[in-house]
Amino acid sequence: MLSIYKTCKTTSRVALPFKTVNAIWKRFEDLISKYRRLKNEKSKRTKRVLVFNEWRRLTGLCRSAKTLAELLHVTPQAISKCCSGRSIMCKGVYLRYLHPDMEVNIDDWFEYLDLIQYDKMCGEEHFYFKYSKSRKRDKLTANQIRSLESSIKNKALARLNEFYPHNLRVIANNGWFMEMDSNRYFPEILETNVDGESINALDIEIANYYETNLKEIIKELCERHPKRKNLISTQIMSSYKRGHYELAIIGILVQVDWICKDNLNKHFFLKRKNENKEYIPSIVNDLLDVQDDYFKVFITPILHDCPIFVHYSRLRTYPSDLNRHEIIHGTDIDFGNKVNFLKSLSLLKYVSDILYFSELCKKNRRPLEKYIYPKSDWV
């Protein structure tokens, strides 16, 4: 078009009358204006694409089907088919066009927006796959998915409630606390009843577990509590590596108090009396506000007396003699050993977990059971 315009401009100087050149000029200006308008309208019509993972959670937002097709190495038609529902998934992900009346901020909705919820908001019905590691997957409607999720959740919760609260109390009475991690849980604690005979073998296994995963646990604690990073990773770990277990244990017990102060403005070892006239950590009131059945199972150990924070006059009734009061006030002078260090570390990680996951539950970002229960059991 530009070359024609230049030709006309050159020709007009030589032979064409002024009126003719002016008419041609106006015609070309109209064509250029129409071309730009159509180009702008086309760019406005370009639909952004939402990407959901196999768990049907929002994980990405792409500016167009063409761009996403290039990223996934498929044709734009394959993207369009998946977005419209003619195919269920594309390259292992669910795809949907962003509704023109909706505005999605990826930071606010990341891994929170559920695909079934989104389809319902858009007034659309689609099929979904039940999560499976095998290639053969069941095609289900939204109602079937929700019904199946509810059934599995109830079974899992019943299974947890059968043994877990009791077992968590038993191991806490022996000085240990379990972290909330679906990839690092003990079937012996989850699936069987822990008694006096089995606790000895389990005691050794838990100690080995915390010693083996020490670096990962310290790293996670530092990431969650950056204000405490220097104290945890440098001073406490330096004391531990040099065999100064007394200093390391005291340092950990202090940090247990202060991560609670940072998050809830309350100290862990400042206690209140419960209905059984037991003195339990003051943070329990805040934790009981969390509306999640799984979470309430995991805070069972601190809903009752526990040797780490029980009054020293009742300490001798427990199998573990690791007690914060006796250590800080100098009554116990024989607490400095590796096992007690690992027990105190298990408490710090446990308290960090319940603070972290309680915040997630309150924000309703994602179901807690997806963290604390093996993923293979979920749809």
What is the distance between the alpha carbons of residues 106 and 100, in angstroms, rounded to a whole number? 16
Model confidence pLDDT, tens digit, residues 222-254: 999 999 999 998 999 999 999 999 999 999 999
With a cut of 50, list the residues of the chain below it in pLDDT.
1-6, 8-14, 182, 374-378
What is the distance between the alpha carbons of residues 379 and 364, in angstroms, rounded to a whole number? 19
DSSP H/E element including 95: strand 94-97
pTM for the whole structure: 0.62
What is the distance between the alpha carbons of residues 268 and 283, in angstroms, rounded to a whole number? 6
Looking at residue 108, its pLDDT comes to: 65
The DSSP secondary-structure symbol of 61 reads E
Looking at residue 193, its pLDDT comes to: 63
Q: Which residues of 99-136 are buried (b: 16+ CB within 10 A; e: fewer)?
A: beeeebeeeeeeeebbbbebbeeeeeebebbebeeeee
Distance of alpha carbon 7 from the chain centroid: 64
What is the distance between the alpha carbons of residues 7 and 125, in angstroms, rounded to a whole number? 57
248: Cβ contacts below 8 Å, ≥ 6 apart: 236, 237, 239, 240, 341, 344
Looking at residue 167, its pLDDT comes to: 81
By CB atoms closer than 10 A (0-12, 13-18, 19+), residue 278 is middle
Looking at residue 46, its pLDDT comes to: 74
CA atoms within 13 A on the CB side of 355: 23
Looking at residue 239, its pLDDT comes to: 93
Model confidence pLDDT, tens digit, residues 29-45: 888 877 777 666 555 56
Looking at residue 1, its pLDDT comes to: 46
Neighbours of 357 (CB within 10 A): 21
Q: Which residues of 32-69 are buried (b: 16+ CB within 10 A; e: fewer)?
A: eeeeeeeeeeeeeeeebbbbbeebbbbbebbeebeebb
What is the distance between the alpha carbons of residues 262 and 280, in angstroms, rounded to a whole number? 19
Cα distances (Å, whole numbers) of residue 102 to 48, 118, 121, 168, 262 = 11, 10, 10, 45, 37
Closest CA to 131 of 184, 88, 95, 160: 88
| Residue 79 · residue 91 · CB < 8 Å | no
**In this structure, which amino acid lies at residue 269?**
F
Looking at residue 135, its pLDDT comes to: 59
Closest CA to 98 of 65, 75, 56, 141: 65
242 Rama sector, left if φ>0, alpha if ψ -120 to 50, beta otherwise? alpha
The torsion angles phi and psi of 100, rounded to 5 degrees, stand at -60, -25
